Amino acid sequence: MSTAAPTVNLVDIYTSAKVGCPYNEDQMGLFITRNAAAAWVLDGATGFDPGVRLVDSGGSDAAWYANNLNQIFTSNIRAGFPPDGKQEDFYRHALTRARESFNTNSRLPADKVERCLLPSAAGILMNYHQETRLLTFSGLGDCIAIIKVEGENHAFTTTPSFFAESQKRETMMKAGQYSKDDRRMLRNRMNSDEGYWIMSVHPEAADHISVEHFQIPEGKTVYVALMSDGLERASKLLHLDHTGLINLILDSSIGEVTHMIREKQREMGPAQLKQMGYSKANDDITGMLLDFTP
């Protein structure tokens, strides 16, 4: 006999700007109705040269872009968009609006800006439909979701091309070969077949989102942790796999894990972190933990 569909609950939520920075370039959102839910995390990235400001408000271009995209996500989801759960349509519509907003607020229109200078954002979006008990994850970039079902774990990571580029960047950094010209070259490949796909001002990136489905089993509690790569850093810094990371979050809290990350980064220092492949000594940290209970 079929059991009742699970209900979604917010268990934990936390965000922290990078140390010494007065603004946060991460954003997140949650929208729950009687029979559906959506949750997301966005991680803004400033263009290649943070000294170049294209938009006056928001602390940085990345902070402005992530906040603007978050508002677009919120308004679209509240309006019931996309129909029939077509994720590509959702992203194409959102990125089209993001481009329009950028062109309205920027000193230069998007097509007049060198691609490496444009702000962008990684993101992970979860949609839940109570009737079908289906979780749909979609995204671009290095925000992830980790799913735990009564002792079983499943890590969902977006956009293989982005991680291939990140791995190349990490290898170059460890070899001491990550020059300013290398960084410009890599960022100029954004949203092209030769590079990586990410949310920015190019609606065609919607055709390259990663999408994965997870069927919630009957009678079991399911935990879902959505996070930016700042929180996912705990895996490498604390020597955890994703199973260990979500277990640590469940046993403590996202805030406590954030404190562990900050302490470890202070102990190691920028030089050792660079040897591990991190291009910056600390990052914004954002996470959200949900559960689905029978």
Please state the pTM of the whole predicted model.
0.92
The residues that bridge with 223 in the sheet, in sequence order, are 148, 291
| pLDDT band at residue 151 using 50, 70 and 90 as cut-offs | confident
Average pLDDT score over residue span 225-243:
91
Average pLDDT score over residue span 216-233:
92
| Residue 7 backbone phi and psi in degrees, to 5 | -100, 150
Of 12-16, 34-38, 117-121, 254-258, the one with minimum mean pLDDT is 34-38
The residues that bridge with 210 in the sheet, in sequence order, are 139
Residue range 7-293 in CATH 3.40.50.300: no
78 vs 71, 101, 104, 136, CA distance in Å? 11, 19, 24, 17
For residue 252, give both structure tokens.
Answer: 């403590």
Nearest Cα residue to 212 out of 281, 106, 135: 135
Q: Is residue 37 predicted with pLDDT exceeding 90?
A: yes
CA Rg value for the chain: 19
| Single-letter residue type at 74 | T
| Single-letter residue type at 91 | Y
Distance between CA 87 and CA 89 in Å, rounded?
A: 5
Average pLDDT score over residue span 26-38:
93
Q: Is residue 262 predicted with pLDDT exceeding 60?
A: yes
Q: In what order do the strands lie in the sheet with 120-129?
A: 26-32, 36-45, 120-129, 134-140, 210-215
Distance between CA 262 and CA 211 in Å, rounded?
A: 31
What are the residue ranges spanned by the domains of the chain?
7-293
Q: DSSP 3-state assignment of 37?
A: strand
| Residues 73 and 65: beta-carbon distance below 8 Å | no
Nearest Cα residue to 289 out of 248, 261, 237, 240: 248
| pLDDT band at residue 224 using 50, 70 and 90 as cut-offs | very high
| Residue 286 backbone phi and psi in degrees, to 5 | -140, 135
Q: Is residue 3 predicted with pLDDT exceeding 60?
A: yes
Nearby residues of 106 by Cβ (< 8 Å), 6 or more positions away: 54, 55, 113
- Other beta carbons within 10 angstroms of residue 284's beta carbon come to 24
- For residue 78, the surrounding DSSP H or E stretch is helix 61-78
Average pLDDT score over residue span 266-286:
85
Q: DSSP 3-state assignment of 137?
A: strand
For residue 56, give both structure tokens.
Answer: 């006056």
Nearby residues of 143 by Cβ (< 8 Å), 6 or more positions away: 41, 42, 43, 122, 123, 124, 158, 226, 227, 228, 229
256 vs 27, 29, 120, 213, 249, CA distance in Å? 19, 21, 28, 30, 8
Q: In what order do the strands lie in the sheet with 144-149?
A: 7-16, 285-293, 222-227, 144-149, 152-157
CA atoms within 13 A on the CB side of 164: 10
Distance between CA 54 and CA 52 in Å, rounded?
A: 6
